[in-house]
Chain A
Amino acid sequence: MSVSTYQVISPGRKRGKRAIIKTALFILGRSMQSASRFDKKIQQELESWPENFTIVYKAFPKGPMMTLCKNNNKLKRCKPGEEDPDMIIYLKNLEYAFLLMTSRRSSVEAFLEHGAFLKGDLSIALSLIRILNRV
């Protein structure tokens, strides 16, 4: 019988950072929802979005996520895990999501540093960045 010379290492967990990101995403979603009711500039941005447009904002690959939809020219938080969203913005890893959610990186920097990637229409992503900058 041979003596095993290797180990199988399972991925660890970052429960603290995960909880902070989840909380920050919750606050961000609520803030965006509220701001879209009152802020004229945000409402102007939303006019160009298709009605019921859905965006998922998520830390890759299995991190916390937030889902937003456009309803009556306002943003609304939807149930997480919305099926088949119109756009998904992935933050490349949990550490980068942590930097972003603790305001140590901006949304623009996330794209500059390849910290985020996108499935969907880039012009709406830019509009979303302008909204995020106002919130």
Chain B
Amino acid sequence: MIPSYFEFYNPVKIMAGKNALDNLPFELMQLQAKKPLVITDQGILKAGILKSVKKAFSETDITFSLFDRVPQDSSDKIVKELANIYRETKSDSLIALGGGSVIDTAKAVNILITHESDNLLDFVGSDIINLPLKPLIIIPTTSGTGSEATGVAVIKNSINNIKMGFSSQHIIPDVALLDPRMTLTLPPLLTAATGMDALTHAMESSYCSQRNPVTTAFAFSAIKMISEHLVQVIKQPKDSDARFALSTAAFLAGVRLSNSLAGMVHSLGHATGGVCGLPHGIAMNIFLPHGLKYNLAKAGDLIGELLLPLAGSEFFTQVPKVDRPVATIKYIESLRDNLYDLVNLPRSLKEANVPKSEFETIAQYAINDGSIAFNPEEVDYEDALHVLNEAYN
């Protein structure tokens, strides 16, 4: 089914595979940059991942500045501090080494430094940035957010703690370096949660209202790779081929997400994260089957088609077309059970210790989250509350 109108844009150069990181100096040269500011967090530092980046710059004339204190929930305060560091050090480009928070922080810093501004609030909104930003290279260290491929950044407002959204084609990074070495040390629980995040990006935007044929091709590849490799990576964390497959899948899902936004699963996840601090990947794991069930009436056929990349052609052909939507949900539920047995990844709000007393606030936040507009079925406050109660047990 082709929509009457759609757009697709993804200019990210992907450097993916073994030793991809070693191309970093060359890519900087291509972008006419030689004084990058590297942005990362303490977790990356402790995991020793920075060493590989330092090695990549050996035997070059590139010196870089380093900021390694991006918190898990980055704010406009950090962004402003980093913009000042960028100016002080006379840097000419940005490298983000980390997960979603680090990447989004680097994107927001890029907005400020390009516009020579100190006020991030001036740029909140969609498509209001209308000039090319400074060179930005992303080295993801998780396989989930796909932020290395998206034109979206989310940053907390340090005054009212509300998450601010920035969306523009100019925010999309120039280069994404997907090197399996970067995710080898990711702990199993985090691997499972970020993997389910990527799977949700791919699945949800495949049946939500902004889907289009180009992004569906990306999504099917992503779903297939995650389905084939997620459990394998958790059982064998040092399997670099499987890790690489997950990183690639997360990137593909990110491209997909950037061009056809997700729906209520993301809205509920963002809201539960904002109110109770529930990590995004865990929230996706909890809400995904509930989002699928809620949309069965309007998007059942599309949900049924996802069984093919999820379960493979042999299984798919054995299930009658009419039963495929429900079979897709059952497949996801069994994957969640498997991950729970392996790493205790919570499957319900109860298992994740989200109190019922917060449901009303979460429902209110969820219906004001941007993704809700792209859900096939309309979701009002009562509907959101109902789904939260369903997801509790």
Question: Does A118 touch B at the CB level, under 8 Å?
Answer: yes
A127 CB contacts on chain B under 8 angstroms = 368
A19 CB contacts on chain B under 8 angstroms = none
- Decide: A118 and B373 in contact? CB cutoff 8 A: no
Given A112-B210, A113-B5, A114-B7, A126 and B124 contact (CB-CB distance below 8 Å): no
- Decide: B210 and A120 in contact? CB cutoff 8 A: no
A113 CB contacts on chain B under 8 angstroms = 3-6
Interface string of B1-13 (1 = CB under 8 A from A): 0011111000000
Given A122-B165, A126-B368, A108 and B373 contact (CB-CB distance below 8 Å): yes
With the chains together, A88 CA to B165 CA distance in Å?
A: 15
Given A112-B209, A112-B374, A114-B7, A123 and B369 contact (CB-CB distance below 8 Å): yes
- Decide: A118 and B5 in contact? CB cutoff 8 A: no
Given A112-B209, A113-B5, A114-B7, A122 and B370 contact (CB-CB distance below 8 Å): yes
* Chain B interface SS verdict (over half): loop
Would you list which residues of chain A between 88 and 135 have a CB under 8 Å from chain B? 108, 111-114, 117-124, 126-127, 129
- Decide: B124 and A117 in contact? CB cutoff 8 A: no
- Decide: B125 and A111 in contact? CB cutoff 8 A: no
- Decide: B373 and A129 in contact? CB cutoff 8 A: yes
Given A112-B374, A126-B373, A118 and B126 contact (CB-CB distance below 8 Å): yes
With the chains together, A118 CA to B127 CA distance in Å?
A: 7
A112 CB contacts on chain B under 8 angstroms = 3, 209-210, 373-374
With the chains together, A19 CA to B82 CA distance in Å?
A: 48
Would you list which residues of chain B between 240 and 254 have a CB under 8 Å from chain A? none
B66 CB contacts on chain A under 8 angstroms = none
Given A108-B373, A112-B374, A123-B369, A118 and B125 contact (CB-CB distance below 8 Å): yes
Query: Which of these, B6, B125, B127, B374, contacts A120 with CB under 8 Å?
Result: B125
Listed by A's residue number, 19 A-B pairs whose Cβ atoms lie within 8 Å are A112-B210, A112-B373, A112-B374, A113-B4, A113-B5, A113-B6, A114-B127, A117-B125, A117-B127, A117-B128, A118-B125, A118-B126, A118-B127, A119-B125, A120-B124, A121-B164, A122-B165, A122-B370, A126-B368
Tell me the smallest distance from the CB of A127 to a CB of chain B, in Å. Answer: 6
Question: Does B367 touch A at the CB level, under 8 Å?
Answer: yes
Chain B interface residue count, CB cutoff 8 Å, equals 22
A48 CB contacts on chain B under 8 angstroms = 368
With the chains together, A119 CA to B368 CA distance in Å?
A: 16
Question: Does B199 touch A at the CB level, under 8 Å?
Answer: no
Which of B126, B210, B374 has most A Cβ within 10 Å?
B126
Would you list which residues of chain B between 280 and 329 have a CB under 8 Å from chain A? none
Q: For A113, give the chain B residue with the smallest CB separation.
A: B5
B124 CB contacts on chain A under 8 angstroms = 119-121
A118 CB contacts on chain B under 8 angstroms = 125-128
Tell me the smallest distance from the CB of A61 to a CB of chain B, in Å. Answer: 11
Query: Which of these, A117, A119, A121, A126, contacts B372 with CB under 8 Å?
Result: A126
Query: Which of these, B126, B164, B367, contacts A126 with CB under 8 Å?
Result: B367
B164 CB contacts on chain A under 8 angstroms = 121
With the chains together, A124 CA to B374 CA distance in Å?
A: 16
With the chains together, A108 CA to B164 CA distance in Å?
A: 20
Q: For A44, give the chain B residue with the smallest CB separation.
A: B381
Given contacts A118-B126, A118-B128, 20 further A-B contacts (CB under 8 A): A111-B373, A112-B209, A112-B210, A112-B373, A113-B5, A113-B6, A114-B127, A117-B126, A117-B127, A118-B127, A120-B124, A120-B125, A122-B125, A122-B126, A122-B368, A123-B369, A126-B367, A126-B372, A126-B373, A127-B368
With the chains together, A127 CA to B364 CA distance in Å?
A: 11
A122 CB contacts on chain B under 8 angstroms = 125-126, 165, 368, 370
With the chains together, A124 CA to B164 CA distance in Å?
A: 12
Tell me the smallest distance from the CB of B124 to a CB of chain A, in Å. Answer: 6
Q: For B165, give the chain A residue with the smallest CB separation.
A: A122
Q: For B381, give the chain A residue with the smallest CB separation.
A: A44
Given A113-B5, A114-B7, A127-B368, A119 and B373 contact (CB-CB distance below 8 Å): no
Q: For A89, give the chain B residue with the smallest CB separation.
A: B125
Tell me the smallest distance from the CB of B262 to a CB of chain A, in Å. Answer: 13
Given A112-B210, A113-B5, A119 and B370 contact (CB-CB distance below 8 Å): no
With the chains together, A129 CA to B380 CA distance in Å?
A: 12
Would you list which residues of chain A between 35 and 49 have a CB under 8 Å from chain B? 48
B162 CB contacts on chain A under 8 angstroms = 123
With the chains together, A124 CA to B141 CA distance in Å?
A: 34
Q: For A107, give the chain B residue with the smallest CB separation.
A: B373
Would you list which residues of chain B between 324 and 377 have a CB under 8 Å from chain A? 367-370, 372-374
Tell me the smallest distance from the CB of B360 to a CB of chain A, in Å. Answer: 14
Tell me the smallest distance from the CB of B271 to a CB of chain A, in Å. Answer: 10
A126 CB contacts on chain B under 8 angstroms = 367-370, 372-373
